[in-house]
Amino acid sequence: MLILLRQGKISKWFSGWGQEAISVGTTLAMDNKEFILPMHRNLGVFTTRDIDLYQLFCQFQGKIDGFTKGRDRSFHFGSINHKIVGMISHLGPQLGIACGIALAEKLEKTNRSVLVFSGDGGASEGDFHEALNVASVWQLPVIFVIENNQWGLSTPSKEQFNCKQFVDKGIGYGMKSLQIDGNNLDEVFDSISEIRVKQKQNPEPFLVEAISFRMRGHEEASGTKYYPEGLQEKWRKKDPVSLFEKKLIKEKLTTTEEIDSIKSNLKKQINQAWKKAEKAPVIVPDKNQELNDIYASVNMEISEENGPTKELRLIDAIKEGIDQAMEKNPGLVIMGQDIAEYGGVFKATEGMLEKYGKDRVRNTPLCESAIVGAALGLSIRKRKAIMEMQFADFVTVGFNQIVNNLAKLHYRWGENADVVIRMPTGAGVAAGPFHSQSNEAWFFHTPGLKIVYPSNPADAKGLLLAAIEDPNPVMVFEHKALYRSLSGEVCESYYTTPIGKAKLVKEGNDLSIITYGMGVHWAKSAVEKLNVNADILDLRTLLPLDEEAIFNSVKKTNKVLILHEDCLTGGIGGELAALINEHCFEYLDAPVMRCASMDTPVPFAVELENQFLPLEELDEKINQLVNY
């Protein structure tokens, strides 16, 4: 690999030289049906699991036969057939995913363990602390292996953490810990094997610190000039491959000649696979294929609203949707802060614990990143999860998991990430800057996510049930101020409202008001007060957009106002205005106009919040367009 890197035949390489015993020993100790979540230097995990070298080398070369079709590099991939879930560059999110996979193993009583790696540097990430805490609180059969190789890129351990050893951290999380010689293959294998036996008897997490050394740079380009003189020579004497060879020879289990023969045969296999991969055709870019692979294909049948209805508040419609989904899908798990006994701060899950039990209705610690990761882990194990953000504002703590793991997983290596995240959102309840934000635009920019935003009880239930059936990550924004202030007729039976389809809630010819969520009700009230004959288009789904419905309305009325509660600058309205300008310019009789909240944080005092929201400006914009 180092030679090929220097020849420019691969673009990046993370060497496991000096740490091979950790990867190989842990993987040999695990059953082939047990998941492993590796890191940069864990080539030994992949080879021990008999990954096809041709496909692996295609991955390194960015060929179509690689695991990611040229969309990601090195070990940033997974293979469900090999029970491997690859990392992303952010060092830590895989730890929460391991918790989710382990939760599925525990719920299904498989007696399987899950093993996940972290480097000593990556253990400084918040994801490390969140995942260990969740695993301990939930008593999950996770083996957390910290490869303590003394360095995080060029930063030595003494500048990474101020504790003597990582095993001491286990005490703080209430889990058992073990420090091992990571260069001793037998010790690694025996230790992990023993832990697995214990986890079969009593599911609980373990923290394993494997002491080793990184002989090469973090990646080859960074070099090793920062190492103190003599340090590499000291550790070269502890090289795990050499030590194992000497042991085999000493115990007369093999000979030097047999070792040389094994290496020669391996070299032939490697070279043959590399040459085959080199001859594989380079990727011919196909825009349609790239766009089609953003989402997993949706094969669900739309369940129509059929049968008797009853009047429900928006929060009760959501609650009924969750209840019916839990009944229909025994594998569905709902997770969030205070959602069990307390029923959630908005009572959307009240009574669920008594009906479905603690296994499926799970209170979580305050660690959004780990819980989004756990939901993704459940998805990888083919179980569905609904994760409730207590307030949409708190999503910032789990942002990385959503935009870099959930959103990109299917595009990168074809794995579904069918997680539903409920997002109580919006202002109008005098809750201040950290409980009132409209942050849908943050995710609107991220390919791979789906975003729905219902404006009424019937759509709230139908869109939620559709989100649960969808094999893609769906964010469901629910306006808090509408939870108990808005009621409507809702079909009593199970039904799904199509994702990606807008709804014309009022028809007119004077102008089109394109909006969603609370904006629908503002628009209805304004046109009635002003006696304006307008199309009001409720987008319902923000990603993917129903562009056809938008364009049809604009072409009919020739004037358009885009309305949303989020701040004006950088809001969704800017993208909608650009689309309309690009595709409907010749139909317009007036400039495309936007009406949105002020470009400030959401204030607390009612008077300031009312000024922040676009209510007064809305009437002015409508009159301006009508009279243009």
Q: How many CB atoms lie within 10 A of CB 560?
A: 28
Q: Extract the runs of DSSP E, i.e. beta strands, from 320-453.
A: 333-336, 361-363, 385-388, 419-425, 450-452
Q: Extract the runs of DSSP E, i.e. beta strands, from 136-175.
A: 142-148, 151-152, 155-156
134 Cβ neighbours under 8 A, 6+ residues apart: 96, 99, 140, 364, 365, 367, 370, 371, 374
Please tell me the distance from the alpha carbon of residue 232 to that of residue 77, in angstroms, as a whole number: 31
Using an 8 Å Cβ cutoff, are 362 and 335 in contact? yes
> What is the pairing mode between strands 142-148 and 114-119?
parallel
Q: Say how many residues make up the chain.
A: 628
Residue 112: both structure tokens together: 């399987």
Using an 8 Å Cβ cutoff, are 143 and 178 in contact? no
Please tell me the distance from the alpha carbon of residue 375 to that of residue 336, in angstroms, as a whole number: 10
35's enclosing H/E stretch is none
Q: Is 564 a catalytic residue?
A: no
Considering only CA atoms, give the Rg of the chain.
28
Closest C-alpha to 449, from 424, 428, 425, 419: 419
CA 426-517-300 angle, to 5 degrees, is 120
> Tokens 């096809």 sit at which residue?
52
Please tell me the distance from the alpha carbon of residue 452 to that of residue 22, in angstroms, as a whole number: 44
Half-sphere exposure of 333 (CA within 13 A, CB side): 30
Please tell me the distance from the alpha carbon of residue 100 to that of residue 372, in angstroms, as a whole number: 9
DSSP 406: I
First-to-last CA distance in the chain?
67
AA letter at 497: T
Q: Catalytic residue, from 410, 435, 479, 521: name it.
A: 435
Torsion, Cα 263 264 266 270, to 10 degrees, reads 130
Half-sphere exposure of 205 (CA within 13 A, CB side): 31
| Phi, psi angle pair for 112, to nearest 5° | -95, 150
447's enclosing H/E stretch is none
Residue 550: both structure tokens together: 């938008």
Catalytic residues: 435
